[in-house]
Structure 1
Amino acid sequence: MNSPRLPMVESAHYPAGVPATTPYLAVDVARVRRNLGRAAERAAASGVSLRPHAKTHKSPELAWLQLQAGAVGVTVATIGEAEVFARHRVDDILIAYPLWVDRRAADRLRDLMTRARVIVGTDSVPGAAALGRFLGHTPLEVLVEVDSGHHRTGCPPEDAGEIAAAAHRAGVDVRGAFTFPGHSYSPDALRTAAEDERRALAVAADSLRAAGIEPRVVSGGSTPSLEASLDDPGPLTELRPGVYAVGDAQQWELGTMGPEELALTCRTTVVSNAGGRAVVDAGSKILGADRAPYSSGFGRVPEREEARIVMLSEHHAVIDWAGTPPPPGTVIDIVPNHACNAVNLVDTLYVDHAGDVREWPVAARGHNS
């Protein structure tokens, strides 16, 4: 399916499609396509499917680029996000979250199943029982979430069979297991997190088999661990990277993506040279405030790799330029630390198609439940 072309903003002083004032989030779609194609080729060579996490971009247009590149479906975090993508004809959706389903959530999921294949997560016997109570004997599919070292949600891998059996008894179709190796977000854990992922999912798969349930889906993945997971997928049948599509400063600093691969930037204007530094008109309200322990600042400047964003407030970013700063009025690009947070702060992405700038709505923004 071709991504629909959306109306563009007209300006007397800027090319069609470009907003009249900074800051705004810009996307280089050629880089996006290269990132998607590279990951798709690697996944195909490893015999692993891609089901990218769309919470990164929240954009149906970008989701369709991922599907056109070979993704089997998308991953989301909430029922609301799933509803948005289903309305835009994405028809294979994993809600990778241990949902606690009540009657109202069940009604929404039942309606969603009329438009898409729907897979949800659970990580407890009570959670599995609730799914069965409200949605047993429906087309809903379930994956058991296991903890592979991130220690957020997910049962111990050896308990996956018990939870799967409880879901099966409740009339729910258990497809397999999934995990999120979120501890990969550390410079010294990219490969060890992938090893933890493989080990945990192998144990979980064996636990399901011992309970009489054959795991048809064994799902993992994060952007930092993607290459290591593809090098040795082990029991994995699919991976769910998110940030790989557009990149961010975290991936740059982790060494998983180079500056030439980063497709999402905040276009901003220098407004001051106070204190001998560049101060731009983009602050935490568009860049996001995330700063991981390994981050060297509040974002990165691709055209000046040695520059560091040393101070961030709501509408100011102060940049130590490591030299004479550019004068006020200069437009520069900043790569946000965390793409998911930055995208969630705007209504529109301005997408460059070889000089033709189009607006893509961040359609799933705000759908947090």
Structure 2
Amino acid sequence: MIDTPYLSLDVARLDRNIHGVAGHAQTAGLDLRPHAKTHKCAEIARRQLAAGAVGLTVATIGEAEAFATASPVRADLFIAYPLWVSGDKGRRLRALAAHTRLRLAVDSAEGARQLAAEIGHADVDVVVEVDSGQHRTGVVPQEAGGVASAAVDAGLRVIGVFTFPGHGYGPGDAPRRAAEQEVTALSVAAEQLRAVGVEPVVRSGGSTPTIEFAESGVLTEIRPGVYPLNDAQQIELGSCGFAEVALSAIATVVHRTGMRAVVDAGSKILGADRPPWTSGFGRVLDAPDATITSLSEHHAVIEFPSDTASTALPAPGDRLRVIPNHVCTAVNLVDELIAETPDGTTARWPVVARGANS
């Protein structure tokens, strides 16, 4: 028996989730380029590629290096981040481009010129990031042509535009509205590129909460990240149900008083994320009506409903499956995932891109 706490991966659920979104993308006529920053795991990436993904999205050069070298991945990689290429980053990007197909992002003329100067004649594709409403990075859509033109003048090969509808992470109709704004932004940006003589072959967007609204036409590609594993945020957004959650922290009950239990999985394995619209600091897979009311580094306090039968309350020593609010941060806290298959066998899958933040 493995000591708690640890992150357990239900492989059967994982595979259903992977094939479900792959089928949705194929039906919608969209390329699927999942964001691997969620799982950071070569074995999960391999399954996504085998199911039809055209490549992987990553957030950092370090993540790209991890997936480019982790057998058997060696995938077509998109670093979906407007890098400011300084220090050793140019050399690292040139090395990546020498042995994998590489796509990079820019969101300013200055950034494009800096990128071109640092990577030299490296064989890379470039896309312009536009802001579709999250107001984080990305140029306003009306200025995408100017950025593309500057990139081309600097010697870069521009192939399209992309955005991230991160403001779709919200209750109610936030995902639908974000998806609509994404389409509008990419449409405007694509026309701006055409106006300067650049054909936007790639028009990339999508997130796990918004992919149900994604259709081909404007978008050519979607980049959801959370869907293979899912998490408590996705449950509360309605993007998945408890039955679609593939990853949970296995935790031991160390204390119980009345309707309150404490387990040994705190913020150092669950992460500390709690958006204001969530009901608590995660969910309990075994007790969907329970609320995680607080986290410490090594404690999670769980309140059970007052009408819970005494026989359904956990006792000290019992194990519970706790779902993190944000699976991406939880995975980055561990060295490996304990993969469990329906026949009862387990395997240790390394988190190869853990801590690859630069």
The one-letter code of the counterpart of 2:57 is: T
Q: 1:271 aligns with which of 225, 244, 254?
A: 254
Measured against aligned partners, the alpha-carbon deviations of 1:149-197 in whole angstroms (never above 9, x if no partner) come to 0000000011111101111111111010000000000012010000000
The one-letter code of the counterpart of 2:196 is: A
Partner of 1:261: 244
Partner of 2:110: 126
What is the deviation of 1:276? Answer: 3.8
Matched, 1:161 2:145: yes
1:177 and 1:219 in contact (8 A); partners too: yes
Secondary structure at the aligned position of 2:98 is classed as: coil
State the 4+ residue runs in structure 1 displaced beyond 3 angstroms: none
1:286 and 1:345 in contact (8 A); partners too: yes
Q: Which moved more, 1:254-263 or 1:97-106?
A: 97-106
Equivalent pairs counted in the alignment come to: 349
Partner of 2:200: 215
Matched, 1:173 2:173: no
Q: Hey, what's the Cα distance between the residues in 1 that align with 2:152 and 2:186?
A: 19
Matched, 1:365 2:348: no
What is the deviation of 1:205? Answer: 0.4
Partner of 2:62: 80
Aligned ranges 1:43-54 → 2 under 5 Å:
43-54=25-36
Q: 1:202 aligns with which of 187, 192, 217?
A: 187
What is the deviation of 1:119? Answer: 0.6
Q: Hey, what's the Cα distance between the residues in 1 that align with 2:84 and 2:351?
A: 26
1:73 and 1:90 in contact (8 A); partners too: no
What is the deviation of 1:274? Answer: 3.1
Q: 2:269 aligns with which of 261, 286, 289?
A: 286
What is the deviation of 1:134? Answer: 2.1
Measured against aligned partners, the alpha-carbon deviations of 1:293-333 in whole angstroms (never above 9, x if no partner) come to 11101111122111000111010101001134311011110
What is the deviation of 1:352? Answer: 0.7
Q: Hey, what's the Cα distance between the residues in 2 that align with 1:307 and 1:186?
A: 22
Q: 2:45 aligns with which of 58, 63, 68?
A: 63
1:138 and 1:172 in contact (8 A); partners too: no
Task: Output the TM-score relative to the length of structure 2.
Answer: 0.96
Partner of 1:34: 16
What is the deviation of 1:136? Answer: 4.2
Aligned ranges 1:15-26 → 2 under 5 Å:
19=2, 21-26=3-8
2:41 and 2:351 in contact (8 A); partners too: yes
Secondary structure at the aligned position of 1:268 is classed as: strand
Secondary structure at the aligned position of 2:57 is classed as: strand
1:198 and 1:234 in contact (8 A); partners too: no
What is the deviation of 1:103? Answer: 5.2
Matched, 1:349 2:330: no
Flag structure 2 segments of 5+ consecutive residues without an equivalent.
Answer: none
Task: Output the TM-score relative to the length of structure 1.
Answer: 0.93
Secondary structure at the aligned position of 2:80 is classed as: strand
Q: 2:80 aligns with which of 86, 91, 96?
A: 96
Secondary structure at the aligned position of 2:43 is classed as: helix
1:264 and 1:335 in contact (8 A); partners too: yes
> Please, what is the CA RMSD of the aligned residues?
1.0
Q: Which moved more, 1:214-223 or 1:84-93?
A: 84-93
The one-letter code of the counterpart of 1:280 is: V
Q: Hey, what's the Cα distance between the residues in 2 that align with 1:242 and 1:129?
A: 30
Q: Hey, what's the Cα distance between the residues in 2 that align with 1:341 and 1:260?
A: 21
The one-letter code of the counterpart of 1:241 is: P
Measured against aligned partners, the alpha-carbon deviations of 1:267-303 in whole angstroms (never above 9, x if no partner) come to 0010101354111010000000000111101111122
The one-letter code of the counterpart of 2:302 is: I
2:292 and 2:303 in contact (8 A); partners too: yes
Matched, 1:319 2:302: yes
Measured against aligned partners, the alpha-carbon deviations of 1:122-159 in whole angstroms (never above 9, x if no partner) come to 10000011112122432111110000000000000111
What is the deviation of 1:216? Answer: 1.1
